[in-house]
Amino acid sequence: MADFVTGTTRGGKSWTPKFVEHIDQKLCIGCGRCFKVCGRDVLELIGITEDGDIVDAFDDEAEKKVMSVKNAGNCIGCESCGKVCSKSCIAHLPQAA
């Protein structure tokens, strides 16, 4: 069994944070709820063209806007982004210690 990074709450309880791992861009509707709840600059809105190329979210070529993991290393494992996602497209995993 693997040991994972753990933390301690203010009340002294142990917990295992789960860090953002992946966003399923086929399910994502680009609503931005996850982006708004995260204060750690982990996520960014990107655009996807008809051909599947990634472009700036506000580029005229963007057919669809979706969220992407920009700075995974900034994630603190609170899972707030996943809790506000109406499409359940954000995957979280614990990190091995």
- Using 50, 70 and 90 to split pLDDT, how confident is the model at 83? very high
Q: Compute the average pLDDT of residues 83-94.
A: 98
Asked whether residue 12 is domain-assigned, the answer is: no
Number of domains in the chain: 1
Asked whether residue 31 is domain-assigned, the answer is: yes
DSSP class of 30: -
Structure tokens belonging to residue 10:
């203010």
How much is the CA Rg of the chain, to the nearest whole Å?
A: 15
Asked whether residue 29 is domain-assigned, the answer is: yes
pLDDT of 36 higher than 90: yes
Question: The domain containing residue 25 runs over which residues?
Answer: 17-94
* Count of C-beta atoms within a 10 Å radius of residue 33: 17
- What CATH number is associated with residue 64? 3.30.70.20
pLDDT of 60 higher than 70: yes
Asked whether residue 5 is domain-assigned, the answer is: no
